[in-house]
Structures are given as structure tokens and as C-alpha cells.
Structure 1
Amino acid sequence: MLIEKGAYHQRTKEINLFSFVTILVLTVIIAIVVKIIFAQTQPQTISPLPDPTGKSGTFSLFFTKETKDPTLLLTQIKKIIDQQPGNYSVYVLDLINNQAFGINESVILTAASVNKIPILATLYKDAAAGTIDLNEIITLQPNDIQYYGTGILQGEGPGGEYSLKSLAQLMIKKSDNTAAFVLMQKLGATKVQGTVNNLGLTQTNIEENLTSNKDMALLFQKIYSGQIVTKTNTRALLEMMSNSDFENRLPALLPKNVKVYHKIGTEVGFVHDVGIVETIGHPYYIGVMTSDISGEEQAETTIGQISLLVYQFMNQAN
């Protein structure tokens, strides 16, 4: 059967056009698929989120497809703190996958007693190096007694004898200011600041009593991971920070079987609590620091509410 020449060329033209369109469509589809796959494998950083209230505050997030998106959680936290007087810094760091998110986490604040943690870290670091004996006995002198704030030693007066280890325990569990003063005198502010600097903290000033949530997260991460002292002493450090006299902030609303290794800080206008919440297989750092606070009890309640929201988020199924 003969095919007319014109009809043959027409059919060839149609086939070529169809092939071109098919290739073009396939190319577009492949490009879209590649883009989607690439996007899913990249960390997503979002900062800042809109602040509809006009109140100062910046969200920062870091998450991948293997971690949970904390955007809703941060929105809930922001709603809580926007209803409170004062300013809040919140930071969360997953110690397993390094997921991190926060609000104003890099703001430098008066540390209050939070800066007793660098003193503790320096003391045990020196003990591990053999330059400090934790069993050394110190006799309290009249100038050692700090007649302000928290602690029991101010009520006992001079003359008491305590080991460095006992002073460390009092400094953390009871936030004893006299114990902290004596240990700082023993170590020296320069040495403590040197420890801080060597650990990579860039916003912590011991003599000026300043720090940030992000710096404290790094310090707790290094303590928890055993980068400062031996495994045995790491556990000793952590146990000092559990079941303190101040369990009405971060641990307040959490299940009683959950370990919280933390340190509070309180000064006029400042109410803090920072530390590690140890859930089975999933420890995380959480810090809530504040400034310009008018009511300490309300701030403590708010810290507890934020801690509970974060705990629920960190323990939900992926």
C-alpha cells in the first residue's frame, strides 16, 4: 500500500512533536522530584518568625526530616510569655540529634546563681587534673560569710570546717552564696574564666556575672557528655544538680520519675532555671532565663509551664 508523500511527512512531524513534548514533561517532573528530595535532606533554619504583638523576641529553629518541627511549640511558648511582664529567653537543645530552637537564646543576662555552674565545672576539672583535692578542709573565716541571698552557712557564722566537696554540694543543692564565695576564692576568678573560655563559651563573664542561655546549653552539654571530667565525676556533678532545694521551676510539672539536673538563679528582676531533663534515651537541655521580672512566683509558674510543654514535645512520637 502506498502512502502519499504529504501524509507521511505530516505523521512524522506529529511523532517528533509528541516526542519533544514527552521529553519536556519528563524533564520537568524529574527536576521537581530532585528539588523535593534535596529540600528534605537539608536542615531548615527559620528566623525570625513574625511577632504580631510587637514585643521583642526572635524565634530560631534548626530541624531536619529526622527531627520534629517545633514551630507550633514555639508559638505556644511565645503566647505564654507575651502574657507575662518582663522578658524571657528560652532555649532547647536535643543532646541526641542536636536539634535546637529558642527565643532570644543569645541575649546576655545577669546570671545570678547560674554562674555557680562554671565554678563547679572548674573545681572538678582541676580535681581531675590533680591540682585540687576535693577532700581538703577549709575553715570559714569572718570575711567568707556572705550575709545575703540563699544558703545555710551565713547562719552558722565563721569557724565551720568543710571539705571542698561539701562546699560544692552546698553551692549547688542549696545555692549557698558563702560556699560559692569560698570556692571562687580558692580557684580564682581568672581560672574560672579560663575554663569558660576554653570550653567555648563566648557570652559568659564570671566577674561581671553575665551569661546567656546558649552558653549554658554548651556548658551543660559538655558536662553531660563527659568532656570535662571522668564518667564517675560526671555522674557526681549531675547528681549534685538533682533534688535541690529549688524544684519549683523546671521540674515542677514534670513526672516525678524524670531526672532534672539544673541550677536556678534569682536576683531582683531575674528568675532563671537551666539544666538537663533526662528522659529514657532522649536527654535534652532546657533553659528559661528572664529579666525585668516583677513577680518571682509568677515567673516560676511560667518556667514550669514552658518546661512541661517542651517535655511533651520532646517525648511525642515522631
Structure 2
Amino acid sequence: MARALCAKVANMRLPLILSLASLALSACGSGSPQTASETPRLNMPQLTTEVAQIAERARPGVLGVGVMNLESGESWDFNGERRFPMQSVFKAPLGAAVLAEVDAGRLKLDDPIILTEQELSPPKSPIADAYPGRRDYTVRELLVAAVGVSDNTAADVLMKKIGGPGAVTAWLVGKKVEEIRVDRYERQLQPDSVGMASFRPAWKGTQAYMTAFASVPPETRRKAVAAYLSDPQDTATPRGVLTFLDKLDDGELLSPASKKLLLEMMTETTTGQDRLKAGFPAGSRLAHKTGTARTDLGMNPAVNDVGIVTLPGGRRYAVAVFLSGSTLGDAANEKVVADVARAVTRGIR
């Protein structure tokens, strides 16, 4: 809308230009607010400087960041158009797609689901670890496990229930969220990304899976990870995630009850305590979803965290941070994400 307004202003006669001058100047340019705002503007030069310094520290890893003021729509990004592997970040859009089916009456939160051995997925999956001791779950329980605990079995079962990865992507595109794509089940993506054979139930549990993982020659794993990093499947851009979070917050994706439930799950998650949550001020409230690949051969393909933060005082922002191909080590990778949150906090005037 802002870009269209700028183009029209350039072709208008002087009197009309003068009458619209303040509106046009405030709307033109990348990352400008689309509505009048009562919250402070983003300090974009400061954000660019600080995040660029963090990105330099993370090399050869690649950093992508997006920030949006949810009250005004003003946004800023760093590598915002670049695609990054999502890992479990996809479980937030998946959760929204599942709840959209609930809103449509095609699914109920208390619907029972009985798991079979063939539906188990790779770690992380406490549900697979518990099998066959427990097989019966409800849709709600699987949703909490997928979004709140990042359980891969729960995510795959729910995704199959609503039509598969293609159905999730199609739902997002139908909602004008066009830079997030979900292409594979976790039971496909995780083995593919490290050069393993197709997942089998005998690999359930961390110990069994890691034994199978270790049997793959290092050079095979290295080539598989390189292919994964260049693959557009199962990726998102920071600005695409901002669009998703903005639409979720605005109520464009779900009913009020479903939106509230999803954000509660994202707030109560125990994952990623040393990432965005560690970087925002004490007293902030964060509804978020992390995504993490396994560090192997000195490199991690994906250390991510995206969500909606409510700062002390009530100001609210969507934030997306993706770190891909970092060789810093696990603790240092998480500190990169936390430092971005600190930079974002300083970049809000």
C-alpha cells in the first residue's frame, strides 16, 4: 500500500502533492508504517548496525532477522528475503492450520487418535519414546506436544490428519502467507537432511536413532547437509514469518478462541530458554517457536527462534531470527539469537 501511494504521489500535480506531503513522506520507503502509530518508531540505522555486527561474528553462518511493530505495521529486516531452513519453526504454522480445521468443524480437539508403530518419528519425540506404553491421545494433546514440546511424532500425525505437508502450505498461501513452505514430514526431513535411510520404528528413541546416525559416513553426512542448506523445501524467509505472526495476531487466521490457545501453547513452551527469551527485558512475555538442527562435523544448519514479544509496558512486536550454517557451537549459537533480541530492544526508541 505504501509503495503504491508513493508511485501515485510522483505523478500528481503540485497542489495535491503538497496536501499529501506528510502522509506520503511517512509512508514511502522500505519498512515504513502503514498506519498512524502511538508507539515509537524502530531505530532502523541502529538495528542495521548492531545486527550486522552480530552477523559478522556468526560467519560463516548466515543470519536472518525480521522485526515488526504489531501496532503500526512498521517493519525492518536483515536478509529478510532469504530462505532459511525452518526445522521445528514450522510447527507454529502447522498448529495454526490444525486449529483452522477445528474452527471449520472438520476436527475436534477431543477427537481420539490411536498411534501405530508406523506413525512414530525421529527424536525429539517423547511420544515415540513412550510407545507402546501409551498409544491413545487426543488432538489437543498432540497439538500441545507438537507446539509446546516440539514433538516430531505429534507434528507428523497431526499433519497427516489434515492432509499432509502440501495442505499446510496451501492453507498458508490461501491466507496470503506466501514465503513459508512445508514440504516433508519430520520422519522424512530429518533422515534426508543427514544422509540417512528412510526412518524406521526400530530407530525410535534418541539412543537408537543416534546409533543409526553414527553409521552414516561423515562425507555422506556432509554432502547431505550441504544439499539441505541449498534446498528451498521446508524453508521460510524472515519477512514471511513476520507476515504469519502479524496475521495470527490480527485474527486473520483463526477464531479468537483458537488464536488464544495457540499463543498460550507458544508462551508455555519450555524450548529455547537461552534464545529470544534470554535477550528481552525481564517482565517480557514471549509466545514463540524454536527450530534446531543437530550440530555435526562442527556446524549447525539451523538455530532459529520466532515469536511475538510483549514488552513491559505492553508494546508488542513480531520477531524472527534464523541462524544457518554456524560453526560457533551450541551455546554461542543461542547467544547470537539472544543478542539479536537485545539489539531489537535497543532499537526501539
Distance in 2 of aligned mates of 1:226 and 1:274:
18
1:311 and 2:345 matched? yes
- Specify which of 153, 162, 172 is matched with residue 187 of structure 1: 162
Q: Which position in structure 2 is the counterpart of 1:152?
A: 126
Unaligned runs of 5+ in 1: 1-30, 47-59
Q: Say if 1:292 and 1:146 are closer, same or farther in 2 by CA, change over 3 A.
A: same
**CA offsets, 1:23-59, max 9 Å, x none?**
xxxxxxxx9xx98x9378513766xxxxxxxxxxxxx
**Are the equivalent residues in 2 in contact too, given 1:174–1:245 (CA < 8 A)?**
yes
Q: Which position in structure 2 is the counterpart of 1:230?
A: 255
Unaligned runs of 5+ in 2: 1-13, 184-232, 294-299
Distance in 1 of aligned mates of 2:281 and 2:125:
27
**CA offsets, 1:154-204, max 9 Å, x none?**
210234211111111111111110100110111122321221111112222
Distance in 1 of aligned mates of 2:285 and 2:22:
37
1:75 and 2:49 matched? yes
Letter in 2 for 1:187: I
Distance in 1 of aligned mates of 2:28 and 2:333:
29
Percent of matched pairs sharing the same residue? 23
Q: TM-score, normalised by structure 2?
A: 0.71
RMSD: 2.3
Q: Which position in structure 2 is the counterpart of 1:259?
A: 285
Question: Secondary structure at 1:83's aligned position in 2?
Answer: helix
Distance in 2 of aligned mates of 1:198 and 1:192:
10
Q: TM-score, normalised by structure 1?
A: 0.78
Q: Which position in structure 1 is the counterpart of 2:84?
A: 109
Q: Which position in structure 2 is the counterpart of 1:212?
A: 237
1:274 and 2:299 matched? no
Distance in 2 of aligned mates of 1:199 and 1:290:
26
Q: Which position in structure 2 is the counterpart of 1:296?
A: 330
1:129 and 2:104 matched? yes
* Bigger CA radius of gyration: 1
Structure 1 residue ranges (4+ consecutive) displaced by more than 4 angstroms after TM superposition: 63-66
Q: Give 1:94 deviation, angstroms.
A: 0.7
Q: How many residues align?
A: 269
Letter in 1 for 2:142: L
Greater relative contact order (Cα < 8 A, sep 6+):
2
Distance in 2 of aligned mates of 1:77 and 1:123:
34
Letter in 1 for 2:267: S
Question: Secondary structure at 1:96's aligned position in 2?
Answer: coil
**CA offsets, 1:223-244, max 9 Å, x none?**
1111122222211110100131
Question: Secondary structure at 1:43's aligned position in 2?
Answer: helix
**CA offsets, 1:237-286, max 9 Å, x none?**
10100131212211113234211011001114111101110134421111
Distance in 2 of aligned mates of 1:174 and 1:256:
23
More divergent stretch after superposition (252-261 vs 112-121): 252-261
1:42 and 2:25 matched? yes
Distance in 2 of aligned mates of 1:243 and 1:135:
20
Q: Which position in structure 2 is the counterpart of 1:197?
A: 173
The answer to which structure has the higher strand fraction is 1
Distance in 2 of aligned mates of 1:147 and 1:191:
22
Distance in 2 of aligned mates of 1:306 and 1:187:
35
- Specify which of 300, 304, 316 is matched with residue 283 of structure 1: 316
